[in-house]
Amino acid sequence: MALSRLIGRWLRYLLGETVYVWLFWPGVLVHELSHLIAALITFTKVTGFSVWPQPAVAGHRQLGAVTHQSTRNPFKLIIISLFPLVGGALLTWLTAYWLLPQPPAVPLLPLGHFSGAELVTYLNSWGHFVELIWSALHFSDWHTWLFIYLIVALSAHLMPSNPDLNYAVAGLIALALIVILLWLLTGLVSYPIVNILNRVMMVVLSLLTPLLSYVLALLLLVAALVGLGALLKHLNRKAFWY
C-alpha cells in the first residue's frame, strides 16, 4: 500500500497537481466505488457519495468520498476501509486479462514467514513477470496504451486514505480485543474457537493472495518506472547547464 502512495506522490511531482487529479480520475472512481460496494454488502447505510474532486482546503484536496452511517462493528470498519485494495486488485487482474493477449502468471507472495531466501525467489519470479509483461506489450496496438494508462491510474489510488487507515486500525484493535476475550473464555469452556477463527483467516488470505500478488508485482513495476522519471526530473532541476 505504501507503494501506491509513493506512485501518487511521484506522479504529482512529474505532472503537477491539476493534471494528475484529472488525468488519473478513473482511479478515484474505482476507489470510491469500492468503498460504496463494501458498505452495501455489509448492510451499512450510505448517506453520501462523490467522485468529483474538490478545491484544496488547507493544502489538502479531497478527490472523492463515501459517507455512511456510523458503526462500531469491527468487521464493517475493516471491510469498508480496506475494500479499495480488493476492488483495485480485482480490476487490475481483469485489466490484464482483457487487454493483454497473454496475461502473465503472477509470482505469489509466500504466506507466513518471509525469509531472505524466499525474498530472493520472489524477486527472481518478479523479474520473469516483468519480462512476460514486456513481451505481451505491443506499442502499435491501442490495447497496450489503454492497459498502461489503467494500470497507472489504479496503482496511484489503491492506497486507503488516512481516515480509512484510522478506521481500519480501530476495527483491527477492536477485533483483536474480541479474539483475546474469546481466547480467555474458551480456556474456561475448552472450545477451540480461536483455532476456528485462525482457519477462517487462512482461507481468506489464501483466496486474496493471488489478487494481492498481482497488484504487488505491477505496483513494483509502476513504482520503478515512475520513480525513475521523478528522479530524472529532480536531477535535471539540480543540474547546472552551461
Cell digits of residue 72: 462500531
Q: What is the pLDDT of residues 204-229, one digit of tens each?
A: 767 777 777 788 888 889 999 999 99
Three-state SS string over the chain comes to CHHHHHHHHHHHHHHCHHHHHHHCHHHHHHHHHHHHHHHHHCCCCEEEEECCCCCCECCECCCCEEEECCCCCHHHHHHHHHHHHHHHHHHHHHHHHHHCCCCCCCCCCCCCCCCHHHHHHHHHHHHHHHHHHHHHCCCCCHHHHHHHHHHHHHHHCCCCCHHHHHHHHHHHHHHHHHHHHHHHHHHHHCCCHHHHHHHHHHHHHHHHHHHHHHHHHHHHHHHHHHHHHHHHHHHHHHCCCC
CB-side neighbour CA atoms (13 Å) of 3: 17
Q: What is the pLDDT of residues 23-73, one digit of tens each?
A: 999 999 999 999 999 999 989 888 888 888 777 666 667 788 888 888 878
> Residue 96's domain spans which residues?
2-238
What is residue 226's predicted lDDT score, i.e. its pLDDT? 93
Number of domains in the chain: 1
Does this model's pTM top 0.95? My answer is: no
Q: What is the pLDDT of residues 126-184, one digit of tens each?
A: 888 888 888 888 888 999 999 999 999 999 988 777 777 777 788 778 777 777 776 66
Cell digits of residue 146: 489503454
> What values do phi and psi take at 107, rounded to 5?
-70, 125
